[in-house]
Amino acid sequence: MSLQRAVAAFETGRWELARTAFCLHLRDEPQNPVALSLLAACCQNMGESDRAILHAGECIRYNPDFPHGYYVLSVALGSKGKLKEAEAAIKEALRGESQNAAYFYFLAKLQFDRDLLHDCLRTLDQALEVDAVNVKCLRLKAVTLIRLGRKEESNFVHRHAMSLSPETAQLHADAAWKAMYHGGSFEQAQEYFAEALRLNPQAKSYLIGLKASRLVGPCTFLMCVTFAFLGASFSLKYFTEWGTTAENGSFGDVIILVTLVPFVLSALSMLAALLIGKVFANR
């Protein structure tokens, strides 16, 4: 199979076919940088990070000036949690190809994962100088700004990204997380999650977010109601005859118990929903 057909298989996501084709091509041309780097990328896309690192290393050894080899190596190292090594590799890729927004984006993502948020912003600004309408870069910039507490700037960047790509599910999910945790409403969050799921029905995190947003609202309401009853029952216990006519098992004690249980259950349910949502919001 020709290299062109192997590349075509890769571009259409047929990883197994593409891997076989690249291996066949490498029998005749064992140092070909395109075949080696895309073979590594196939392995990475199939969840075989160790093989990806091996083939990317071969690509770099034979072709030290080929940037894509460093990029694939960086992705594979990053997937194994070796973030510093991954950052070093992607910087090598950028030395060879300094006008590649995808390389800048991946460097920024590594910096974000290492909580180097100011470095991440600087890298994203470099990426956007190369490609001002790169939606992935704009999205990550909005998320980074909200992590830094710069809400208004984040909202501006997010709206710009949405105007460029209104059919990107992740942008709607981001808006939902913002509504839940940064001054919006749970009703807004539900609408955004519903739209994200319409655009990408397979995304489990969106479904979890939708369920969490539906759970937190009623729990908050129930907590408020039970808190009111709880306060009333304490007043009943200490400021009325019902609370003082019997030393054991007063009517006020019963009301406190009855209202305290749903209050605690509601609080625990809301806390669980918020914590679960927070995990997915930071992904």
Q: Which domain holds residue 179?
A: 169-283
Specify whether 270 is located in the same domain as 190: yes
pLDDT in tens, 12-56: 999 999 999 999 999 999 999 999 999 999 999 999 999 999 999
The predicted structure's pLDDT at residue 274 = 52
The answer to whether 147 touches 120, Cβ cutoff 8 Å, is no
The answer, yes or no, to whether residue 113 has pLDDT greater than 60, is: yes
pLDDT of residue 269: 54
Q: From 120, 116, 138, 143, select the one nearest 128 (Cα to Cα).
A: 138
d(CA 17, CA 236): 75
Q: Are residues 177 and 129 in the same domain?
A: no
Whether 149 and 91 map to the same domain: the answer is no
pTM for the whole structure: 0.75
Structure tokens that stand for 147 in this block = 């992590």
User: Which of 96, 118, 133 is a domain's end point?
Assistant: 96
Cα 243 vs. chain centroid, distance in angstroms?
53
CB neighbours of residue 16 within 10 Å = 10
pLDDT tens digits, residue range 211-259? 877 776 555 544 444 444 444 444 444 444 434 443 444 544 544 454 4
125 and 106, same structural domain? yes
80 and 132, same domain (yes or no): no
One domain, residues 147 and 204: no
Is the same domain home to 270 and 233?
yes
Residue 131 DSSP label: -
Q: 1 and 70: one domain?
A: yes
What's the N-to-C CA distance of the chain in angstroms?
39
- Specify whether 243 is located in the same domain as 177: yes
Most confident of 51-65, 190-204, 253-267: 51-65
At residue 268, the pLDDT reads 58
231 and 158 in a common domain: no
User: How high is the pLDDT of residue 223?
Assistant: 44
* Structure-model confidence comparison of residues 110 and 268, the more confident one: 110
Q: What is the pLDDT of residue 186?
A: 79
1 and 73 share a domain?
yes
Mean pLDDT score across all residues of the chain: 83
Note the pLDDT of residue 264. 56
Q: Which residue has the tokens 């199979």?
A: 1
Q: Of 115, 148, 166, which one is at a domain's C-terminal end?
A: 166
Q: What is the pLDDT of residue 217?
A: 58
Residues 89, 33 share a domain: yes
Pairwise CA distance, residues 54 & 63, whole Å:
14
- CB-CB contact of 134 with 105 (8 Å): yes
Residue that is last in its domain, among 142, 166, 190: 166
| Number of structural domains found in the chain | 3
The confidence band for 69, taking pLDDT boundaries of 50, 70 and 90, is: very high
Q: Can you give the CATH number for the domain in which 19 is found?
A: 1.25.40.10
Question: What does the pLDDT read at residue 199?
Answer: 95
